[in-house]
Amino acid sequence: MLQALSKRISSPNDPADAHRRQFRPASEGGGVHTIAETDSADPYKTLGVARDASQAAISRAYRKLAKRYHPDLNPGNAESESRFKAISGANGLLSDPEKRSRFDRGEIDSSGQEQARPPPYRDYAAGEPGRRYGRAGPQPAEWGDDDFADVFGTMFRDGRSQTGPRRGADQNYSLTAEFLDAVNGATRRLTLPDGRTLDVKLPAGTGSGDILRLRGQGGDGFQGGAKGDALIEIQVLPHRFFQRDGADIRLVLPVSLTEAALGGPIEIPTPGGAVRMRVPPGSDSGTELRLRGRGVPEHGGRAAGDLYATLRIMLGKPDPALNAFLKHWTPEQADDPRKDMT
């Protein structure tokens, strides 16, 4: 195909069309063609079969070759076209037992055996009428960006409008952000490959995979066109103990046995700084405390999230006094903590 294209370019007279005309069938007045190649003088050789091959073997050989050289399966390939003519001519001669035996006796030769074929399908298909069976339907398909990108790669991406100003290309970067910077918002400096630095303002509530667009920080425009944008994909690093869950923040909060049993004020870290709160007496491991509005701060029209602290009781180092007490302690209500597991 590219061959045909380049030939078109080299000559306005379009030799690609010329060779197609040359093989136009009988309907155009050319009559039955004879094949000049010496090979075609021997139809057995053309089909690659022995002289005593059975009719079935001849038919098999023909089909095998026809599948490869059928001109409608090889549009624009002149060699394939002439091969197919020879093949079908040979088949026409050898598949007819009477003609075959006359040929074997030397009464006829192989010339004149090519059958006149009506214009092949491809003569129509690649032209205007072929739109009828095109994928886009009978209407002429428009040349969209997809065609160019799909078939010609980026060849036309920067060349579609050579005459007028064009906006510069967008450029992609990635930036890794600390967890708290992403939750609370921060400004980070990004050094670009070309040495420029960009101050990137991370809005509160930025998540991993978010893309920030910095207008006018991309590639230069052409012929007075605006600059493209810089697109920055954010990767948020995990935090030591905070976990993000949409607008909420979760953490596991260690408490002492005393704090859990007797309750009392403790300090809880939140993304916005430590907050004092009261643990209710008798809080067990796994109890979830909610601090309203202490999750991801309000951002982009979304209300602030909450902070969920799940308590985990820590016994700490062995304490002789505690152990001594527990040895002589009889709980008021003996309770098996594993009773649900049996």
* Minimal distance, residue 156 CB to other proteins, in Å: 10
* Minimal distance, residue 150 CB to other proteins, in Å: 10
Beta strands in the chain (DSSP E): 171-177, 186-191, 197-202, 211-214, 230-236, 243-245, 248-256, 264-268, 275-279, 288-291, 307-314
The residue among 129 and 238 lying less far from other proteins, judged by its C-beta, is 129
* Minimal distance, residue 131 CB to other proteins, in Å: 8
Which residue, among 47, 63, 67, has the nearest Cα to 113 in the 3D structure?
47
Q: Which residues bind other proteins (CB under 8 A)?
A: 1-6, 8-10, 12, 62-63, 66-67, 70, 72-73, 75-76, 118-127, 129-136, 141, 143, 147, 151
The residue among 127 and 300 lying less far from other proteins, judged by its C-beta, is 127
Q: Going by DSSP bridges, is the β-strand pair 186-191/230-236 parallel, antiparallel, or unpaired?
A: unpaired
* Minimal distance, residue 136 CB to other proteins, in Å: 7
Give dist(CA 210, CA 115) in Å, integer.
67
Give dist(CA 258, CA 295) in Å, integer.
27
* Minimal distance, residue 47 CB to other proteins, in Å: 14
10 Å Cβ neighbour count for 173? 20
The residue among 77 and 287 lying less far from other proteins, judged by its C-beta, is 77
The residue among 3 and 101 lying less far from other proteins, judged by its C-beta, is 3
The residue among 5 and 257 lying less far from other proteins, judged by its C-beta, is 5
10 Å Cβ neighbour count for 211? 11
* Minimal distance, residue 219 CB to other proteins, in Å: 24
Q: Do residues 322 and 329 make contact, with C-beta atoms less than 8 angstroms apart?
A: no
The residue among 9 and 315 lying less far from other proteins, judged by its C-beta, is 9
Burial, 263: exposed, middle or buried (Cβ in 10 Å; 0-12, 13-18, 19+)? middle
